[in-house]
Amino acid sequence: MHYQNVCLETIAYTLPEERVTSAELEARLEPLYSRLNLPPGRLELMSGIRERRFWPREMPPSQPSVVTARKALSQAGLDGRHVGALIHGSVCRDYLEPATACSVHQQLGLPRACVVYDVSNACLGLMNGVVQIANMIELGQIRAGLSVGTENSRALVENTIAHLNASTTLARHDVKSALASLTIGSGSAAILLVHNDLSRTGNRLLGGVFRNNTEQCALCHSDRSDTAGVVLDPLMWTDSEVLLNEGIAVGKETFLQFLEEMQWRASDVQKTFCHQVGKFQHKLLFEMLGLPRGIDYTTFETLGNTGSAALPITAAIGLEQGHVQPGQQAALMGIGSGINAIILGVHWKLTL
């Protein structure tokens, strides 16, 4: 998968104001911790996550998505009339139908000729949207497109706490499969891609690869979703240890395929932005890839795992902090439950 005419113009983000620490969540789990004699501090110790954020109750995902998409267009100085595709790629959405992208498109006032739809693929939805938009630009079908999404972890975290406290039969090993839900955070991201001749940055999206191992699709699943959006009633169960190992294995396969596809050596990957899970996943991933951890930028410590928004939010903040210098090559590395993985290569020239 190679591109000659696509630029990754801007990556924008919006974060909720409400911060919730891991210590606060454990305090709310006091009935469970007391019954099972669990030591406090284990959540932050195991994940490296000090805090995460929550959107206000009953806020539809489309609302922050509109704000973030406007930021991306404003940063690029791009008129919305050029946008030929809008893809909403988060797990969270306003309704099962119509597509949340429709509400975002309407509020942004984008052209009626714009392609508008949702993509759902766990933590890779926004990255899948990036590839689909890049393909359309490369084929000459559109000149610019937005992949946008908003994840809201409040319902999942609060439902998990209520479930764990209410049950009197759960043992320690049962609790372990629910703890990953407490690492999930909230955030919104938007990635704007444009044709080279519209670009002010010259940040070329070079190409990339996909890989999967769907034999492991049952390792992480949410099974309570009668509707969607603000009335979603989710619980999620994760075999964290197996998912960690299997996800890293798929990540390594994808990375080796990426180097071959791009005709790069590992040393040609000068900077990285990855999906954000926690400290052990981060450490093991870079050990397995044989890359120095210093080339990566992380946000899981203060944002947790923000699902499909995690990688682009981290990239946007990292770019603000000068993590990537002009002329460097960066890899965007996403791994999501399913298991699916994607790595995209970007040659960075300028940050707006």
- Residues known to be catalytic: 97, 123
Number of domains making up the chain:
1
229 in any annotated domain:
yes
Strand pairing report for 296-297 and 271-274:
parallel
39 in any annotated domain:
no
Predicted pLDDT at 173: 75
Question: How far apart (Å, rounded) are the C-alpha atoms in residues 36 and 254?
Answer: 40
26 in any annotated domain:
no
Element (H, E) at 72: helix 62-76
Query: 203, 9 in Cβ contact below 8 A?
Result: yes
Give the pLDDT confidence of 141-158 residue by residue, as tens digits. 999 999 999 999 999 999
Query: 115, 330 in Cβ contact below 8 A?
Result: no
Question: Can you give the pTM of this predicted structure?
Answer: 0.92
104 in any annotated domain:
no
What confidence category does residue 230 fall into, taking pLDDT thresholds of 50, 70 and 90? Answer: very low
Question: How far apart (Å, rounded) are the C-alpha atoms in residues 170 and 153?
Answer: 23
CA angle 198, 199, 205 (to 5 degrees): 120
CA angle 198, 204, 206 (to 5 degrees): 135
Amino acid at residue number 244: L
134 in any annotated domain:
no
Give the pLDDT confidence of 111-134 residue by residue, as tens digits. 999 999 999 998 899 999 999 999
DSSP codes, 281-327: HHHHHHHHHT--GGGEE--HHHH-B-GGGHHHHHHHHHHHTT-S-TT
265 in any annotated domain:
yes
Token code pair at residue 314: 């981290």
CA dihedral 195, 201, 205, 206 (to 10 degrees): 110
Mean pLDDT, residues 174-198: 91
Range of the domain at 220: 204-347
pLDDT surpassing 80 at residue 305:
yes
What confidence category does residue 280 fall into, taking pLDDT thresholds of 50, 70 and 90? Answer: confident
What confidence category does residue 225 fall into, taking pLDDT thresholds of 50, 70 and 90? Answer: very low
The rounded mean pLDDT for the chain is: 90
- Strand intervals (E) in 77-203: 83-88, 115-118, 144-151, 187-195
Burial degree of 67 (CB within 10 A; 0-12, 13-18, 19+): middle
Give the pLDDT confidence of 5-33 residue by residue, as tens digits. 999 999 999 999 999 999 999 999 999 88
Q: What is the CATH number of the domain that holds 284?
A: 3.40.47.10
Predicted pLDDT at 5: 97
Taking the CA of residue 58 as centre, how many other CA atoms within 13 Å lie in the half-sphere pointing to its CB? 0
Mutual angle of helices 310-320 and 125-138, in 10-degree steps: 80
3-state secondary structure at position 11: strand
CA angle 2, 314, 161 (to 5 degrees): 125
Strand pairing report for 204-212 and 340-347:
antiparallel
In angstroms, how far is CA 25 from the centroid of its own chain?
A: 22
340 in any annotated domain:
yes
271 in any annotated domain:
yes
Question: How far apart (Å, rounded) are the C-alpha atoms in residues 79 and 200?
Answer: 13
